[in-house]
């Protein structure tokens, strides 16, 4: 008796992969790290096992909500903003994945005003009595918590008293 025997071998392979957020392998999407197997038939009709050792690194993000007066310099970008809005900066994190920084910014504005006044002898302004002409400033806080600067341009007119003495002879 003659036996003509052909032994076909099964095959196997191992792949190590790292990916950000998810990885597509053999039509399947994976979003967690782990070891995954894919079994199929090789060209000789025997089992073929592919093993995937997968590391999933995640994208990251941060959110800053800020309310400030007049302008804000964002330390992430060193950029100064003077208007309210939502700003985004995209970079790469330590794992090589996307990192998104978001800034929600509310800008409140400082205010200023100027008054031109004249008075005789003295003038009372913001709890202070002034007796000389000049330009005076008062700094306080407005309704949104920012600086409020008021300027007073003051002219003091002194009342003059005149006496008249009359001599009769």
pTM equals 0.67
Phi then psi for residue 55, to 5 deg, are -115, 120
What integer pLDDT is reported at residue 8 of this predicted model?
87
What integer pLDDT is reported at residue 6 of this predicted model?
84
66-120 pLDDT, tens digit per residue, is: 999 999 999 999 999 999 999 999 999 999 999 999 999 999 999 999 999 999 9
What integer pLDDT is reported at residue 169 of this predicted model?
54
Q: Is 121 exposed, middle or buried (0-12, 13-18, 19+ CB in 10 A)?
A: exposed
């Amino acid at each position: 008796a003659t036996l003509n025997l052909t032994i076909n071998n099964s095959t196997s392979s191992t792949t190590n992969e790292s990916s950000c957020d998810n990885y597509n392998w053999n039509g399947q999407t994976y979003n967690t790290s782990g070891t995954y197997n894919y079994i199929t038939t090789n060209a000789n009709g025997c089992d073929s096992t592919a093993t995937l050792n997968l590391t999933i690194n995640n994208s990251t993000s941060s959110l800053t909500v800020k309310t400030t007066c007049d302008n804000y310099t964002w330390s992430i970008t060193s950029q100064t903003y003077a208007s309210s809005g939502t700003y985004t900066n995209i970079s790469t994190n330590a794992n090589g994945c996307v990192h998104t920084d978001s800034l929600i910014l509310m800008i409140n504005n400082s205010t200023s005003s100027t008054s031109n006044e004249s008075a005789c002898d003295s003038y009372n302004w913001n709890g202070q009595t002034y007796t000389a002409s000049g330009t005076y400033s008062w700094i306080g806080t407005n309704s949104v918590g920012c600086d409020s600067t008021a300027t007073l341009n003051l002219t003091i007119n002194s009342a003059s008293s005149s006496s008249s003495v009359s001599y009769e002879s």
